[in-house]
């Protein structure tokens, strides 16, 4: 479940996000079919409706029961004739981003608050040296690939030029009331090659229309329209479920608007495309399935981990000492990205409107360690053999798992639930880390695996795991061996998501590597 940020105020009600899902059908943009919610299901608990993630090349579908259209990739079928659940092209591209920056900024920054009550004077919002390019440069220097900015938090203050409230940057002395944080951040992202997203809190503790659910929906959707139409391409729309007592959100209408105005954007957390991992510690479970139940079917629903680099989501005058240690940050990376989830790390700008130097330094340290630990793949292009391969030619041969090319992959014969890849290291080599990835465009199949090393006389197991998915990083003590092998001990096709299509590979590995990490 999703529980919004904690507060002691009696006026705040924690809105829980239950994972209640009903069968999806493939819809695309801009046309949608929006079925009503089941009886007695409150919308402000982020009920997942029949909204499928955006899919390239599809058309609108009239009902849940008709055939799925093919997307960018053909959907392989299991030997039993059940279609394999796969990500949309946008979802798989988002998962490849892996690591992003979250930026909470607003009046809270100037009042040492986490949850503002909507009463702060707009004139107090006055960043003296605001520079969106510095934010984006800091994110890029950290190795991040996307940035999500808080366009409006629960206090209702808008960091963009909106026609629908004066409680915004236009009532601030910053840039003489003509500034637009979201615009400058979006432009900096687009200029520097980062994907851009925004967080628009459905809760608004300032606007009086919030007391009237229908009236407030019109207000909220008007502001959402501004964000979806005035700031270029949007990759991620980030919603949460916080709200006041008695308020009902029209999630169906919000999703429909996003689909219409930004067809390729993914709706996260309180949305149908990307799920919250379940905690604000940045940690994903070691067994992480990209699939989720919606009624009697499975859908692709990847996870995002969010966590602040400091003790709070907004910058505070007294919390620099709470910056997480390098060891802590490395552990978060290994247990988020290394477990197959995306990591959205919150790095809050200060009252200057800049990412603090101390935070940037820690981000650079983290990137340097990650890169050093993954600098030399000891099995890259080494001789490799597999117990079986999907076809006799080289298009999905075992060599594709160790060629360093994320666009190629090894595939086992359809129906295989066990397989093995064995690599000759060319001599005794010491390593202590393995990185493995499935070709998720073909579905997620691995349910258990082991990694073993040949010490010259026998095979010795050095680690074992369950799911692999987009990426799995395994850490272990130093091992010296002349050969290493990955054994898939259990695999299976995903639960059916629709009628069968022509058969294709199920069990795939697009990356297998072993490394020696100097920093442990």
On average, the pLDDT of the chain sits at: 84
Burial of 244 (0-12, 13-18, 19+ CB in 10 A): middle
Share of the chain above pLDDT 90, in %: 75
The predicted-structure confidence for 289-310, as pLDDT tens digits, reads as follows 999 998 888 899 999 999 999 9
Question: Which CATH number belongs to the domain containing residue 464 in this structure?
Answer: 2.60.120.260
pTM: 0.85
Question: Which CATH number belongs to the domain containing residue 198 in this structure?
Answer: 3.20.20.80
For residue 431, being part of any structural domain is answered with yes
Q: Over 90: is that where the pLDDT of 349 sits?
A: yes
* 57 and 107 co-located in one domain: yes
pLDDT for position 493:
54
The predicted-structure confidence for 129-147, as pLDDT tens digits, reads as follows 999 999 999 999 999 999 9
pLDDT for position 295:
83
Number of structural domains the chain divides into: 2
* 181 and 311 co-located in one domain: yes
For residue 212, being part of any structural domain is answered with yes
* 304 and 257 co-located in one domain: yes
CB atoms within 10 A of CB 428: 11
Phi-psi category of residue 246: left, alpha or beta, with phi > 0 → left and psi -120 to 50 → alpha:
left
Question: Cis peptide leading into 30, omega within 30 of 0?
Answer: yes
According to DSSP, the β-strands at 146-152 and 195-200 are parallel
For residue 365, being part of any structural domain is answered with yes
pLDDT for position 296:
83
* 261 and 367 co-located in one domain: yes
Contacts of 465 (CB under 8 A, 6+ apart): 286, 448, 449, 450, 472, 474
Partners of residue 202 on adjacent β-strands: none
* 296 and 172 co-located in one domain: yes
Where is mean pLDDT largest: 2-11, 39-48, 81-90, 338-347?
A: 338-347
For residue 454, being part of any structural domain is answered with yes
For residue 282, being part of any structural domain is answered with yes
Q: Which of 293-302, 350-359, 419-428 has the lowest mean pLDDT?
A: 293-302
The predicted-structure confidence for 91-106, as pLDDT tens digits, reads as follows 999 999 999 999 999 9
Q: Which of 94-103, 150-159, 488-497 has the lowest mean pLDDT?
A: 488-497
Q: pLDDT category, 392, cuts 50, 70, 90?
A: low
* 332 and 398 co-located in one domain: no
Residue 250: which domain range? 50-61+89-373
């Amino acid at each position: 479940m999703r529980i919004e940020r904690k507060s002691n105020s009696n006026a705040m009600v924690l809105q829980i996000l239950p994972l209640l899902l009903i069968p999806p059908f493939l819809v695309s943009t801009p046309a949608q079919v929006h079925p009503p919610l089941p009886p007695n299901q409150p919308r402000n608990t982020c009920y997942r409706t029949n909204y499928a993630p955006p899919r390239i090349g599809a058309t609108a579908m009239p009902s849940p029961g008709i055939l799925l259209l093919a997307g960018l990739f053909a959907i392989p079928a299991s030997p039993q004739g059940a279609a394999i659940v796969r990500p949309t092209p946008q979802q798989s591209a988002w998962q490849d981003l892996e690591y992003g920056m979250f930026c909470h900024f607003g009046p809270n920054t100037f009042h040492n608050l986490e949850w503002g009550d909507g009463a702060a004077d707009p004139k107090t919002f006055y960043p003296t040296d605001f520079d969106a390019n510095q934010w984006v440069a800091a994110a890029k220097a950290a190795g991040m690939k996307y940035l999500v900015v808080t366009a409006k938090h629960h206090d209702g203050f808008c960091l963009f030029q909106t026609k629908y409230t004066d409680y915004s940057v236009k009532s601030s002395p910053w840039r003489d009331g003509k500034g637009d944080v979201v615009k400058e951040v979006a432009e900096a992202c687009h200029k520097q090659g980062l994907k851009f997203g925004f967080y628009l809190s459905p809760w608004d503790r300032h606007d009086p229309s919030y007391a009237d659910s229908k009236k407030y929906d019109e207000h909220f959707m008007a502001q959402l329209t501004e964000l979806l139409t005035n700031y270029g391409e949007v990759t991620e729309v980030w919603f949460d479920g916080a709200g006041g007592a008695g308020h009902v959100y029209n999630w169906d209408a919000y999703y429909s608007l996003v689909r219409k105005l930004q067809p390729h954007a993914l709706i996260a957390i309180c949305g149908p495309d990307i799920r919250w991992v379940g905690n604000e510690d940045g940690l994903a479970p070691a067994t992480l399935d990209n699939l989720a139940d919606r009624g009697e079917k499975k859908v692709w629903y990847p996870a995002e981990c969010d966590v602040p680099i400091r003790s709070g989501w907004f910058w505070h005058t007294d919390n620099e000492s709470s910056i997480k240690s390098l060891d802590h940050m490395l552990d978060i990376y290994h247990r988020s990205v290394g477990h197959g989830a995306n990591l959205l790390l919150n790095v809050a700008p200060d009252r200057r409107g800049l990412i603090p130097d101390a935070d940037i330094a820690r981000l650079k340290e983290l990137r340097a360690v990650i890169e050093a630990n993954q600098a030399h793949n000891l099995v890259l292009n080494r001789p490799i053999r597999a117990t079986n391969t999907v076809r006799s030619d080289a298009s999905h041969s075992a060599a594709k798992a160790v060629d360093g090319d994320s666009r190629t992959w090894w595939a086992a014969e359809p129906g295989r639930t066990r397989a093995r890849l064995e690599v000759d290291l060319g001599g005794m080599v010491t390593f202590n880390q393995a990185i493995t990835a499935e070709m998720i465009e073909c579905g997620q199949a691995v349910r258990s695996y082991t990694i073993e090393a040949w010490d010259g006389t026998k095979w010795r197991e050095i680690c074992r795991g369950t799911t692999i998915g987009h990426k799995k990083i395994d850490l272990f003590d130093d091992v010296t061996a002349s050969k290493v092998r990955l054994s898939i001990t259990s695999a299976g096709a995903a639960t059916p998501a629709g009628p069968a299509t022509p058969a294709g590979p199920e069990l795939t590995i697009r990356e297998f590597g072993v490394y020696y990490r100097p920093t442990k």
